[in-house]
Amino acid sequence: MPIELPSFSPCDALVAVMVAVSASDETVRTAELVAIERIVNHTPVFASYDIDRLRAVSQTVMTLFEEEDGLDALFGLVRDALPPRLYDTAYALACDVAAADGRLRDAELRMLVEIRDQLDISRLHAAAIELSARARHQLLQG
């Protein structure tokens, strides 16, 4: 039986993309959750966002991941809610969450490719965003 899909606000869509990257490897890590909360609390695009929506949006993403065509449905919701000028923002936030625990896993990399494709992020823009995320999450040792 198909699930009833909610409509997302632009900020809900940004949260959904971050949660999707975090959950893509079937393990939502504490560092990733902390990164999502930090991003929502400190990024200007979320200035008027109701943080209580985090749980509902996260649950929607997790439910969609269990459905056969859930990923397509998720990206449909995201594209419907996000103005194209925020596509790069969504990808940048996804990269930050993926890098938050200091290790990019294969499933996270595949999800980033999917986000890039679904949101029509150019290779040049993607490379710049990825380099920026890598720079922000660099460690002193290593």
Is residue 69 included in any domain, yes or no? yes
Q: How many CB atoms neighbour CB 131 within 10 A?
A: 11
The amino acid that residue 23 corresponds to is A
Q: How many domains does one find in the chain? A: 1
| Per-residue confidence in pLDDT tens, the chain, 142 aa | 445 667 899 999 999 999 999 999 887 888 888 999 999 999 999 999 999 999 999 999 999 999 989 999 999 999 999 999 999 999 999 999 999 887 788 999 999 999 999 999 999 999 999 999 888 877 777 5
Is residue 3 included in any domain, yes or no? no
Q: Which residue has the tokens 């990206």?
A: 75
What's the chain's Rg over C-alpha atoms? 14
Q: Is the pTM of this model over 0.85?
A: yes
For the domain that residue 91 is a member of, what is the CATH number? 1.10.3680
Is residue 58 included in any domain, yes or no? yes
Is residue 49 included in any domain, yes or no? yes
Question: Do you know the residue count of the chain?
Answer: 142
Range of the domain at 96: 10-136
Alpha carbon distance 130, 32 (integer Å): 17
